[in-house]
Structure 1
Amino acid sequence: MAQIDQIVHPTPKQKIILILEIALVVILLSSGLGYWYWIHTPQYSLKQIQEAVKNHDLQTFEKYVDIDSVTSRMIDQLIDSKINAKNEVQDEAGNLAKGFIQFIKPQLTAMAKDQIRSLVEKGSTLQPSTPGQAEPPDAPKFSVNDIYNNKVGTPDFKGVDYVNKDGKIASVGLKLFYPKLNANVVLEVRMRKLDGYWQIAEISNIPAFLSKLAELEEKKLAEINQPIISEMNNTFKINSVRMVPVQANSFTKAVTFPTEISFLSQKNITEFNVLILAKNQAGKLVLKMPASSAVSSDPGETTTITWSKKINPFISSDAALFNTPPDQLSIEIKPISIKFADGTQLKLSEKLP
Structure 2
Amino acid sequence: MSKMLKFKLIVVLLLVIAMLFGGAWWYFHVHTKTPEYALQQIETALTKHETDRFERYVDLDALLDTSYDDFMAGLVLADTAGSEEEKAAIGDFTQMLKAPLLTSLKSAVEQYVATGSWPGASSGSGTALDASQFLEKSGLFEMEYRGLDSLTQDEEKGQATAKIRVFQKEADEEFVFDVELTKQEDGDWRVTRVTNVGDFASFLARARQAKLKAYADAANAVIARHNETMMKAQEDFTTTLAAGSLGNQQTREALKALMQDTVVPDWQQRREELSAIDVPAAAQSLQKLRLKICDLHIAYAQGYADWMTDKKAATLRDAERQLAQARTLEQEEKFLARRVGDRAQ
- Where does residue 20 of structure 1 map in the other structure? 12
The correspondence of residues 265-276 of structure 1 with structure 2, limited to 5 A, is: 269-271=225-227
- For structure 1, which runs of at least 5 residues remain unmatched after alignment? 1-8, 237-264, 273-293, 299-338
* 278, 300, 312: which one aligns with 1:349: 278
- Where does residue 150 of structure 2 map in the other structure? 161
**TM-aligned CA distance change 1:209 to 1:128, over 3 Å:** same
C-alpha distance after superposition, 1:224-245 (max 9, x if no partner): x8xxx9xx8xxx8xxxxxxxxx
- Where does residue 188 of structure 2 map in the other structure? 197
- Where does residue 105 of structure 1 map in the other structure? 98
- Where does residue 144 of structure 1 map in the other structure? 135
Task: Work out whether 1:119 is the aligned partner of 2:112.
Answer: yes
Query: Given that residues 170 and 207 in structure 2 are in contact (C-alpha distance below 8 angstroms), is that contact kept between their aligned partners in structure 1?
Result: no
TM-score relative to the length of structure 2: 0.55
TM-superposed deviation, 1:156: 2.4
Query: Given that residues 41 and 198 in structure 1 are in contact (C-alpha distance below 8 angstroms), is that contact kept between their aligned partners in structure 2?
Result: yes
Q: Which amino acid aligns with 1:159?
A: L
TM-superposed deviation, 1:184: 3.9
Identity, in percent, stands at 18
**TM-aligned CA distance change 1:49 to 1:169, over 3 Å:** same
C-alpha distance after superposition, 1:298-335 (max 9, x if no partner): 9xxxxxxxxxxxxxxxxxxxxxxxxxxxxxxxxxxxxx
Q: Which amino acid aligns with 1:40?
A: K
Task: Work out whether 1:207 is the aligned partner of 2:198.
Answer: yes
Q: CA RMSD in A?
A: 4.3
* 76, 87, 96: which one aligns with 1:83: 76
Query: Given that residues 269 and 296 in structure 1 are in contact (C-alpha distance below 8 angstroms), is that contact kept between their aligned partners in structure 2?
Result: no
TM-superposed deviation, 1:188: 1.7
Q: Distance in 2 between matches of 1:119 and 1:85?
A: 29
Query: Given that residues 111 and 128 in structure 1 are in contact (C-alpha distance below 8 angstroms), is that contact kept between their aligned partners in structure 2?
Result: no
Q: Which amino acid aligns with 1:269?
A: R
Aligned residues: 238
**TM-aligned CA distance change 1:128 to 1:92, over 3 Å:** farther
**TM-aligned CA distance change 1:149 to 1:14, over 3 Å:** same
**TM-aligned CA distance change 1:117 to 1:140, over 3 Å:** closer
C-alpha distance after superposition, 1:87-139 (max 9, x if no partner): 55443111111111112211111111111111112222235889xx9956x99
**TM-aligned CA distance change 1:140 to 1:95, over 3 Å:** farther
Q: Which amino acid aligns with 1:28?
A: L
Q: Distance in 1 between matches of 2:126 and 2:269?
A: 47
Q: Which amino acid aligns with 1:156?
A: Y
Q: Which amino acid aligns with 1:144?
A: L
Query: Given that residues 269 and 295 in structure 1 are in contact (C-alpha distance below 8 angstroms), is that contact kept between their aligned partners in structure 2?
Result: no
- Where does residue 47 of structure 1 map in the other structure? 40
SS at match of 1:199: strand
**TM-aligned CA distance change 1:129 to 1:214, over 3 Å:** closer
SS at match of 1:84: helix
TM-superposed deviation, 1:78: 1.4
**TM-aligned CA distance change 1:174 to 1:24, over 3 Å:** same
- For structure 2, which runs of at least 5 residues remain unmatched after alignment? 234-264, 282-345
